[in-house]
Structure 1
Amino acid sequence: MKVLKFGGTSVANAENIVKVGHIIKEESIKNPVTVIVSALHGVTDQLIQAAESASRNDANYLSIVKELEEKHLKLVRELIPVLEQSSLLSFVKKQFNTIEDLCNGIYALEEFTGRIKDKITSYGEFLSSNIIAARLKSEGLDVIWMDAAGYVITNSNFTNAKVDFEATEKNLEDFFQKNQHRVVIAPGFVASDKKGNPTTLGRGGSDYTASIIAAAADAEELQIWTDVSGMMTADPRLVSAAKPIPQISYAEAMELSHFGAKVLYPPTLQPVMAKKISLRIKNTFDPEAAGTLVGNHLEKPDAEQQEFAVGISNMSRIALLTLEGSGMIGIPGISAKLFQCLSNESINVILITQSSSEHSITLAISEKDTANAQHAIHSSFEDDLRLGKVEPVIIETGLAIVALVGENMKSRSGVSAKMFGCLGNNGINIRAIAQGSSEKNISIVISEADIKKAVNVLHEEFFESAIKQVHLYLCGTGNVGKKLIGQIYAQNDYLKENLLMNLRIAGVCNSRKMLFSEKGISEHELSQLHENGQEASAGTFAAEIVSRNLRNSVLVDVTASSEVPEIYEELLKKSVNIVACNKIAASSSLEHYRQLKLTARNHSCRFFFETNVGAGLPVIGTINDLMRSGDKILSIQAVLSGTLNFVFNHYDGTRTFSETVAQAQAEGYTEPDPRLDLAGTDVARKILILAREAGYALEFDDIENESFLPEECMQGNVEDFYRTLSKYESHFKTLLDNAKNSGNILKYVAEFRDGKAKVGLHHIAPESDLFHLYGKDNIVIFKTLRYSDQPLVIKGAGAGAEVTASGVFADIVRSV
Structure 2
Amino acid sequence: MNVIKFGGTSVANAQNISSCISIIKQKSEKESVIVIVSALGGVTDLLLTAAINASEKTETYKEIMQEVETRHLETVKELIPVAGQSSVLSHVKRELNRLETLLDGCFLLGELSERTKDLILSFGEALSSYIITEALKAQGEDTALADSRELIQTNNRFGKAAVNFAVTNKLIFDYIEETEHRVTVMPGFIAKSADGHTTTLGRGGSDYTAAIVAAALEVNTLEIYTDVSGIFTANPKMVKLAEPIPHITFEEAMELSHFGAKVLYAPTIQPILNKDITLYIKNTFEPDAPGSAISKMPEVKSDNPIRGISNIDDITLITVEGPGMVGVSGFSKRLFDVIGKENINVIFITQASSEHSICLGILEAEGKKAEAAINAEFSYEMEQRKIYPAVLENGMSIIAVVGENMKNHQGLSGRMFSSLGKNNINIRAIAQGASERNISAVIDKKDVKKALNTLHETFFEDATVQLNLYVMGVGNVGKKFIEQIQAQAKYLKKNLKMNVRIAGMANSRTMYFDEDGIDLKKWQELLPQGEKSDFKGFISKIKELNLRNSIFVDNTANHDVAATYAQYLKSSIGVVTCNKVACSSEYENYKLLKNLSRQYNAPFLFETNVGAGLPIIDTLKNLVASGDRVKKIQAVLSGSLNFIFNNFNEDNPFDEVVQQAMAEGYTEPDPKIDLSGIDVKRKLVILIRESGYKMEIDDIKTKSFLPDECMATTNNADFIQSLKDNKDYFDNLYNQAKAQYCKLKVVASFKKNKASVSLQMIPADHPFYNLEGKDNIVLFYTDRYADQPLLIKGAGAGADVTASGIFADVIRIGNR
Query: Quick check: TM above 0.5?
Result: yes
Cα deviation code 1:730-783 (max 9, x no counterpart): 433333333333322221111111222111112211111111111111111111
- Offset, 1:424: 1.3
The farther-off stretch of 721-730 and 147-156 is 721-730
The farther-off stretch of 159-168 and 353-362 is 159-168
Residue 11 of structure 1 contacts residue 38 of structure 1 at CA under 8 Å; is this kept in 2? yes
Would the alpha carbon gap of residues 598 and 53 (structure 1) be closer, same or farther in structure 2, given more than 3 Å must change? closer
The farther-off stretch of 212-221 and 176-185 is 176-185
Residue 7 of structure 2 is aligned to residue 7 of structure 1: yes
Would the alpha carbon gap of residues 530 and 89 (structure 1) be closer, same or farther in structure 2, given more than 3 Å must change? closer
- Offset, 1:726: 3.7
The farther-off stretch of 106-115 and 43-52 is 43-52
Partner of 1:30: helix, strand, or coil? coil
- Offset, 1:327: 1.1
CA distance in 2, matches of 1:740, 1:104: 103
Structure 2 counterpart of 1:416, from 408, 413, 418:
413
CA distance in 1, matches of 2:413, 2:475: 44
The farther-off stretch of 260-269 and 46-55 is 46-55
Would the alpha carbon gap of residues 371 and 592 (structure 1) be closer, same or farther in structure 2, given more than 3 Å must change? same
Corresponding position of 1:702 = 699
Report matched runs for 1:641-790 at 5 Å.
Answer: 641-717=638-714, 718-790=716-788
CA distance in 2, matches of 1:86, 1:668: 79
- Offset, 1:82: 4.6
Report matched runs for 1:530-541 at 5 Å.
Answer: 531-541=528-538
CA distance in 2, matches of 1:672, 1:59: 66
- Alignment-mate amino acid for residue 669 of structure 1: Y
Residue 308 of structure 1 contacts residue 462 of structure 1 at CA under 8 Å; is this kept in 2? no
Residue 546 of structure 2 is aligned to residue 552 of structure 1: no
Corresponding position of 1:90 = 90
CA distance in 1, matches of 2:248, 2:363: 27
- Alignment-mate amino acid for residue 37 of structure 1: V
Structure 2 counterpart of 1:458, from 432, 450, 455:
455
Residue 145 of structure 2 contacts residue 184 of structure 2 at CA under 8 Å; is this kept in 1? yes
Would the alpha carbon gap of residues 339 and 767 (structure 1) be closer, same or farther in structure 2, given more than 3 Å must change? same
Corresponding position of 1:806 = 804
Would the alpha carbon gap of residues 94 and 674 (structure 1) be closer, same or farther in structure 2, given more than 3 Å must change? closer
- Alignment-mate amino acid for residue 565 of structure 1: A
Residue 360 of structure 2 is aligned to residue 363 of structure 1: yes
CA distance in 1, matches of 2:527, 2:29: 63
CA distance in 2, matches of 1:200, 1:457: 38
The farther-off stretch of 359-368 and 539-548 is 539-548
TM-score by length of 1: 0.96
Residue 553 of structure 1 contacts residue 576 of structure 1 at CA under 8 Å; is this kept in 2? yes
Partner of 1:254: helix, strand, or coil? helix
Residue 507 of structure 2 is aligned to residue 513 of structure 1: no
- Offset, 1:494: 1.1
Corresponding position of 1:795 = 793
CA distance in 2, matches of 1:155, 1:529: 61
- Offset, 1:120: 2.0
CA distance in 2, matches of 1:154, 1:530: 61
CA distance in 1, matches of 2:271, 2:221: 12
Report matched runs for 1:566-577 at 5 Å.
Answer: 566-577=563-574
Corresponding position of 1:616 = 613
Residue 80 of structure 1 contacts residue 135 of structure 1 at CA under 8 Å; is this kept in 2? yes
TM-score by length of 2: 0.96
CA distance in 2, matches of 1:508, 1:777: 30
Corresponding position of 2:276 = 276
- Offset, 1:31: 2.9
Would the alpha carbon gap of residues 713 and 178 (structure 1) be closer, same or farther in structure 2, given more than 3 Å must change? same
Report matched runs for 1:409-448 at 5 Å.
Answer: 409-448=406-445
Partner of 2:434: helix, strand, or coil? coil
Corresponding position of 2:813 = 815
Residue 259 of structure 2 is aligned to residue 259 of structure 1: yes
**5+ residue gaps in structure 1?**
none
Structure 2 counterpart of 1:607, from 587, 604, 607:
604
Partner of 1:779: helix, strand, or coil? strand
The farther-off stretch of 651-660 and 327-336 is 651-660
Would the alpha carbon gap of residues 147 and 633 (structure 1) be closer, same or farther in structure 2, given more than 3 Å must change? same
- Alignment-mate amino acid for residue 131 of structure 2: I
CA distance in 2, matches of 1:494, 1:675: 40
The farther-off stretch of 168-177 and 626-635 is 168-177
**5+ residue gaps in structure 2?**
none
Corresponding position of 1:487 = 484
- Alignment-mate amino acid for residue 40 of structure 1: L
Residue 120 of structure 2 is aligned to residue 120 of structure 1: yes
Would the alpha carbon gap of residues 67 and 569 (structure 1) be closer, same or farther in structure 2, given more than 3 Å must change? closer
CA distance in 2, matches of 1:331, 1:759: 73
Corresponding position of 1:199 = 199
- Offset, 1:352: 0.9
Corresponding position of 1:351 = 348
Partner of 1:211: helix, strand, or coil? helix
Partner of 2:737: helix, strand, or coil? helix
CA distance in 2, matches of 1:531, 1:515: 8
Residue 513 of structure 1 contacts residue 529 of structure 1 at CA under 8 Å; is this kept in 2? no
Residue 306 of structure 1 contacts residue 408 of structure 1 at CA under 8 Å; is this kept in 2? no
CA distance in 1, matches of 2:745, 2:239: 56
CA distance in 1, matches of 2:617, 2:34: 72
Q: Aligned-pair RMSD on alpha carbons? A: 1.9
Cα deviation code 1:571-627 (max 9, x no counterpart): 111111111100011111111111111111111121110010011111001101111
CA distance in 2, matches of 1:698, 1:353: 50
Residue 236 of structure 2 is aligned to residue 220 of structure 1: no
Matched residue count: 813
- Alignment-mate amino acid for residue 576 of structure 2: V
Residue 231 of structure 1 contacts residue 245 of structure 1 at CA under 8 Å; is this kept in 2? yes
Would the alpha carbon gap of residues 445 and 61 (structure 1) be closer, same or farther in structure 2, given more than 3 Å must change? closer
Cα deviation code 1:405-451 (max 9, x no counterpart): 11122211121121112111111111111111111111111111111
The farther-off stretch of 716-725 and 32-41 is 716-725
Cα deviation code 1:111-169 (max 9, x no counterpart): 32111111222122222222322333343433332221122111111122122222222
Cα deviation code 1:14-53 (max 9, x no counterpart): 3222222221222223333221111222332333344344
Would the alpha carbon gap of residues 357 and 688 (structure 1) be closer, same or farther in structure 2, given more than 3 Å must change? same
Corresponding position of 1:389 = 386
Partner of 1:202: helix, strand, or coil? coil
The farther-off stretch of 115-124 and 525-534 is 525-534
CA distance in 1, matches of 2:722, 2:444: 60
Would the alpha carbon gap of residues 495 and 138 (structure 1) be closer, same or farther in structure 2, given more than 3 Å must change? same
Would the alpha carbon gap of residues 58 and 650 (structure 1) be closer, same or farther in structure 2, given more than 3 Å must change? closer
Residue 505 of structure 2 contacts residue 527 of structure 2 at CA under 8 Å; is this kept in 1? no
- Alignment-mate amino acid for residue 658 of structure 1: D
The farther-off stretch of 601-610 and 459-468 is 459-468
- Alignment-mate amino acid for residue 634 of structure 2: Q
Would the alpha carbon gap of residues 218 and 790 (structure 1) be closer, same or farther in structure 2, given more than 3 Å must change? same
Residue 514 of structure 1 contacts residue 529 of structure 1 at CA under 8 Å; is this kept in 2? no
- Alignment-mate amino acid for residue 722 of structure 1: I
CA distance in 2, matches of 1:223, 1:530: 48
CA distance in 2, matches of 1:655, 1:596: 43
The farther-off stretch of 550-559 and 525-534 is 525-534
CA distance in 2, matches of 1:679, 1:239: 52
CA distance in 2, matches of 1:783, 1:385: 68
Would the alpha carbon gap of residues 221 and 621 (structure 1) be closer, same or farther in structure 2, given more than 3 Å must change? same
- Offset, 1:61: 4.5
The farther-off stretch of 515-524 and 431-440 is 515-524
- Offset, 1:527: 1.6
Partner of 1:431: helix, strand, or coil? strand
- Offset, 1:562: 0.2
Residue 512 of structure 2 contacts residue 527 of structure 2 at CA under 8 Å; is this kept in 1? no
Would the alpha carbon gap of residues 533 and 136 (structure 1) be closer, same or farther in structure 2, given more than 3 Å must change? closer
CA distance in 2, matches of 1:461, 1:77: 50
